Amino acid sequence: MLIEEKKALLPTIGMGLKASAYFKLLKFRLSFTVAFSSAIGFILGRPVASYWEIALVLIGGLLVTGSANIINQIIEKEYDKLMKRTAKRPLPTGTVSVAEAVGVCIVTGLAGLFILGYTFNMLTAALSLLSLILYGFVYTPLKRISPICVFVGAIPGAMPPLIGWVAATGVLSVEAWILFGIQFIWQFPHFWAIAWVLDDDYKKAGFKMLPMAGGKNLKTAFQIMIYTLVLIPLSLLPLQFGMTGTTSALIAVVCGVLFLAQTFYLMRTCSKKAAMNIMFGSFLYLPIVQIAFVLDKVNL
């Protein structure tokens, strides 16, 4: 009797493991973070948006981003096996087959594009498709070819708030480009700090993420500092163009200065610890500033 009960449980356990593998395949937390930026852009473009509209932007963005992440993992399947950080992903371990991954990728991608195009406008869907193509088919293979991959990857990485604004307004306006610009510049200190911390792992797979002229040295630290410095005046543009108020501008400047201070420590020490501080600082900077923009906007 006990054996029969265990056998009956096996399909349920199998389905649970498979669902968990698909969840990991989508890189759900990363995809949600990206979709969150889309929702930020949407709310800034349409402050009186309903919860249902915001939810659809989130779901559409999450599905398209998840699809792009799956393309990335399919292409890098063999390289992921070489790195400690990625060796236990569903494709390297065989938990999910390539055929399954392709199927999930197509379904999630088409579903996300349909939601964004049908619910909002076709320009939103077109920009989302462009972002998916750039990330999956341009940025991903470039990672083993040239450090310019970080510049290319920063384009789809910066598109979510722009896409959110377009979903809300139907227009690719200067405000959309401002949101794009802030997130675009933010990605350089963010990605280079990650690349510094994970450099040994990346080298195992042949990924070239740190700047061409530098490595884990002062040249790279200086570039990180310059891009972080540019964030401060850039984050004031929403106030200048009437998108937000003075409160969020002040918060953005304070966050920018604190973020910048971390780069001086990296320039002084060129240490992994300093790079890790910048990495965690970047994780905090963007959501704090973006949430400040939204709260300021809805209270204007």
Predicted confidence (pLDDT) per residue in 103-154, tens digit: 999 999 999 999 999 999 999 999 999 999 999 999 999 999 999 999 999 9
Concatenated DSSP letters of 25-91: HTTHHHHHHHHHHHHHHHHHH-TT--HHHHHHHHHHHHHHHHHHHHHHHHHTHHHHTT-TTTTTSHH
- d(C-alpha 96, C-alpha 103), whole Å: 11
DSSP state of 1: -
The pTM (predicted TM-score) of the whole model is 0.91
**Domain spans of the chain, in order of start:** 16-171, 173-300
- The residue ranking higher by pLDDT, 117 or 16, is 117
- d(C-alpha 194, C-alpha 272), whole Å: 10
Per-residue pLDDT, 18? 77
Domain 16-171 has CATH 3.40.50.150: no
> Dihedral of the CA atoms 171, 172, 174, 178 (nearest 10)?
120
Neighbours of 181 (CB within 10 A): 18
- d(C-alpha 145, C-alpha 300), whole Å: 47
**Category of 121 on φ-ψ map: left (φ > 0), alpha (ψ -120 to 50) or beta:** beta
- The residue ranking higher by pLDDT, 289 or 19, is 289
Per-residue pLDDT, 2? 45
Whether 151 and 24 have beta carbons less than 8 Å apart is answered as no
Neighbours of 15 (CB within 10 A): 10
Instruction: State pLDDT tens for residues 25-64.
Output: 989 888 999 999 999 999 999 988 899 999 999 999 999 9
Instruction: State pLDDT tens for residues 249-292.
Output: 999 999 999 999 999 999 999 999 999 999 999 999 999 999 99
Instruction: Please state the rounded mean pLDDT for residues 77-93.
Output: 91
Instruction: State pLDDT tens for residues 46-56.
Output: 988 899 999 99
- Which among 239, 227, 237 has a CA at the least distance from the CA of 185? 227
- d(C-alpha 257, C-alpha 52), whole Å: 36
Q: In residues, how long is the chain?
A: 300
Contacts of 219 (CB under 8 A, 6+ apart): 211, 213
Which amino acid, one-letter code, is at 17?
L
Contacts of 76 (CB under 8 A, 6+ apart): 86, 140, 143, 205
Q: Is the pLDDT of residue 219 over 50?
A: yes
Q: Is the pLDDT of residue 212 over 50?
A: yes
